[in-house]
Structure 1
Amino acid sequence: MKHRGNGRASATDAGFGLIEIVVSMFLLALLAVAFLPFLVQGITKSSVNSTLAAATQLVNREMEGARAQTTCSALTATTYSVPDARGVTLQVRRTVGPIDTVGASCPASLTSYPVTVPVGVTVARTDTGAVVSSAKTLIFVTAQ
Structure 2
Amino acid sequence: MPLALQVQQGFTKNQCVTGLRAAVGILEKWAASSEQACHVLRISRSTYTRARQRDPDWAVALDADQMQRISFVLNIHATLRLIFDNPQNVYGFVSMANDNEFFNGRTPLEIMAQGDMISLYETFRRIDALRGAQW
TM-score by length of structure 1 reads 0.22
Higher relative contact order (CA 8 A, sep 6+): 2
Higher strand share: 1
Higher helix share: 2
TM-score by length of structure 2 reads 0.23
